[in-house]
Amino acid sequence: MAAPSLLNWRRVSSFTGPVPRARHGHRAVAIRELMIIFGGGNEGIADELHVYNTATNQWFLPAVRGDIPPGCAAHGFVCDGTRILVFGGMVEYGRYSNELYELQASRWLWKKVKPHPPPSGLPPCPRLGHSFSLYGNKCYLFGGLANESEDSNNNVPRYLNDFYELELQHGSGVVGWSIPVTKGVVPSPRESHTAVIYCKKDSGSPKMYVFGGMCGARLDDLWQLDLETMSWSKPETKGTVPLPRSLHTASVIGNKMYIFGGWVPHKGENTETSPHDCEWRCTSSFSYLNLDTTEWTTLVSDSQEDKKNSRPRPRAGHCAVAVGTRLYFWSGRDGYKKALNSQVCCKDLWYLDTEKPPAPSQVQLIKATTNSFHVKWDEVSTVEGYLLQLSTDLPYQAASSDSSAAPNMQGVRMDPHRQGSNNIVPNSINDTINSTKTEQPATKETSMKNKPEFKALMDSNAILYPSLASNASNHNSHVVDMLRKNEGPHTSANVGVLSSCLDVRTVIPETSVSSTVSSTQTMVTQQTIKTESSSTNGAVVKDETSLTTFSTKSEVDETYALPATKISRVETHATATPFSKETPSNPVATVKAGEQQWCDVGIFKNNTALVSQFYLLPKGKQSISKVGNADVPDYSLLKKQDLVPGTGYRFRVAAINGCGIGPFSKISEFKTCIPGFPGAPSAVRISKNVEGIHLSWEPPTSPSGNILEYSAYLAIRTAQIQDNPSQLVFMRIYCGLKTSCIVIAGQLANAHIDYTSRPAIVFRISAKNEKGYGPATQVRWLQGNNKKAPLN
């Protein structure tokens, strides 16, 4: 975590949609990039369910149905996959609840559930301000505040320290309550405390940590419950313990429990001598406890002066959720004026990155031309951009050279056989070939919806800072999304997110090809895998099945429904695969890793780029500007250089967030095409038949002459792949003039299932003209999460 002076708080201001009214006592959970908020109060208790999409900065109100619960505040709220459980809370002044509701967020369906009472003892009494924590298939209820009076207008508070366990059924429903027998000293009664559950990686038992709360006075004690032995203890801590507080939030990211805000005593008050008489105030202090070492670290202290609008103002009763390694904070009350008997609620939404983003996946090649690459990489959640770099075997060009001219190619030999990631394809159908580069993983897919009330905010590939890579969506794309039905029960883990490289606002040149997935039914029922090619402008890539989540390039479907079947897709991208017969005398020289000169292509908002030029960094000189906490060159001061035909380039990418630039991805290497070779086949389709599958494609959009033949290849299982899964071995399964072939079941039985990303069978298809074979279109036929043979 960054030092306190380097915390980079961000206030979200450019959101759209129906913003919920400010409140306190509400609760929030995260499902993927969605922050789901329920309840709370401010001039009445709120009963709406609000959703904020952190990827698109959109608020929306889902159309909920079923047993809709009444509004409540200070309730229990936990998330198990795509279902949410709500327990207890205040439903009106002086009247508390002990009812349990379940929300299936896959269908926005509420259901009131009735767990069995404990085998011995009573079920939990109505309460508010309790903690309700989930681990595995059990929820753990601790403490809270009950009303001893039967008259809701006559509130007689009773603080609780009882402890219950609620067993859940898989997917939906609950089994019942139980009262575990615990060992050790039980924490004192309290309400408005926090409880989180943490388990060390690869070792140790899960432990629940209870911190703070209210029992006539605010508390600052930390308690630990071992959920295996059911033993309570007070761990010894190091560092400065946060001030006593209640109505704060506790969020776990990694091995740290982050504590923010709450009610704390006024400065100078001695809470030990007069805990019931002292004045209280809200705080914006921010600390974390390392749960492995039990050491407290203060990030923002109560004594730190706040710079105007640099971080959230003091508050209590707010909500906090973790999306990846980013913490979001919304609303809460910022004070209480006794003279006016009123409180002020905050309306603001903030986030804070707690650590640098992880390395993205390797850069993947969608298409190579003679002087450009269309590339992409898997998205990293909660980032603000990506830094894309390349390195080349060409002699480094000084920044003072004329960047508008192509570099001097004398003495540089081109090797068409080292085009991208493969060796020469043999003539024999039964021969196999080895892939010499790492196979690229599949891309994250997101469904595109035309819902006008949820307009996406971001351009498809807006560049955050000046870059030489133009919008990749304006060029040919060989990425094809397809669907097929897999028999078997639906599980949320198997539901993929459907997407495309192309944004709904992309303008496609008439010479380019886009692929469109279509399905006429709400649920996927077709037995064939089909794509439809289009060369019209403004092409939309979408699918008619329901969404599971939304990306920055999607438009939000307010029903947020999950499909009832498993979804599997075929993904294709062109690999710079040379199938040329021409053999140069020498390959391009390689450069040792330590000697590579990395040059910036640019910083991108999204995860695709068309690379035709790159920036040259002057040796020993760098003009630095800031991107958050990241130092990047001032591109306006740098020279640029064009890509060269028949040349190998290495790529790497790093994600950027408020903490700076994260680690770079593994290196990928591609080669620009040599003029005269045909382009890659497009519009690949796959459908099942009695013999196996039918594989078809469209001719290259740029054949550069007459197409003499096509070759299709299948990645097969070998001992070599078992030793090195990244080195695929391909067998030619078709050679001829037709743009289709049958892949029989016997061939599919020998197929290698590629697990570098989602499980898939890999095909490659290439075209040959008078000069030789051009780049191949690579097809990944997704097989779901099982390891059954294809076609099962």
Which domains are assigned to the chain? 15-267+278-353 (2.120.10.80), 356-393+597-618+636-675 (2.60.40.10), 685-782 (2.60.40.10)
Q: Give the residue-averaged pLDDT of 619-641.
A: 67
The burial class, CB within 10 Å (0-12 / 13-18 / 19+), for 574 is: buried
**Are 680 and 704 contacting, i.e. CB atoms less than 8 angstroms apart?**
no
CA–CA gap between residue 512 and residue 528 (Å, rounded): 25
What three-state secondary structure class fits 641?
strand
Contact 728, 751 (CB under 8 A): no
Task: Indicate the pTM of the whole model.
Answer: 0.70
CA angle 385, 388, 392 (to 5 degrees): 175
Q: Which amino acid is at 691?
A: E
Binned at pLDDT 50, 70 and 90, residue 477 comes out as very low
CA–CA–CA angle 30, 169, 446 (5° rounding): 35
Give CA–CA dist 671/666, Å, rounded: 17
- Condensed to tens digits (0 to 9), the pLDDT of residues 494-519 reads 222 222 222 222 222 222 222 222 22
Q: What mean pLDDT comes out for the span 666-690?
A: 89
Question: In one letter, which amino acid is 317?
Answer: G
What's the confidence (pLDDT) of residue 373? Answer: 92
Task: Average the pLDDT over 583-612 and give the result.
Answer: 68
Q: Average of pLDDT values for 569-585?
A: 37
Average pLDDT (197-210) is 91
**Do 446 and 498 form a contact (C-beta atoms < 8 A)?**
yes
Mean pLDDT of 343-359: 92
* Counts for the chain of helices (H) and strands (E), in that order: 2, 57
The answer on pLDDT for 492 being more than 60 is no
7-30: pLDDT as tens digits: 889 999 889 999 999 999 999 999
Cα–Cα nearest to 677, from 764, 777, 588, 770 = 770
**Rounded-to-integer distance, Cα 232 and Cα 242, Å:** 21
